[in-house]
Homo-oligomer: A and B are copies of this chain.
Amino acid sequence: MNPITFYKCLADETRLRCILLIHQEKELCVCELMQALNESQPKISRHLAQLRNCELLTDRRQGQWVFYSINQALFQWIHTVLSETLQNNPDFLADNIIALEEMGNRPQRAQSCCA
């Protein structure tokens, strides 16, 4: 991924929060991100679609849910930048993580082997 595309992905509050939350949590579905960010379904979904189109995120469907994660095929420096950002801005996601943890009925992850 070229650096401009990458930084455009990070340059929006909704997207940056989604990306960093997913990076930290490994995998989140749309409804979890809606709850964590307190944003509408189409808004979250649109931004995720954009990140999927750029190949920053990959998705997998499990039943009714679609789980998003960071594309592991990306160059290492991309992961480094995300980790640096997360580690050095511990407050940035604080409220989102609280909201996520307060969420009831979070979908169960199944292993790919038994989905």
Contacts and interface: CB of A to CB of B under 8 A. Distances in A.
Contact of A77 (B12, B75, B85): B85
A4 to B, nearest CB: 5
Contacts of A16: 3-4, 7
A30 B55 CA distance: 35
Dominant secondary structure of chain A at its interface with chain B? helix
B7 A10 contact: yes
A113 B76 CA distance: 42
Contacts of A13: 4
Interface in A22-67: none
B80 A84 contact: yes
Contact of A7 (B11, B76, B77, B84): B11
A89 B81 CA distance: 13
Nearest to A1: B89
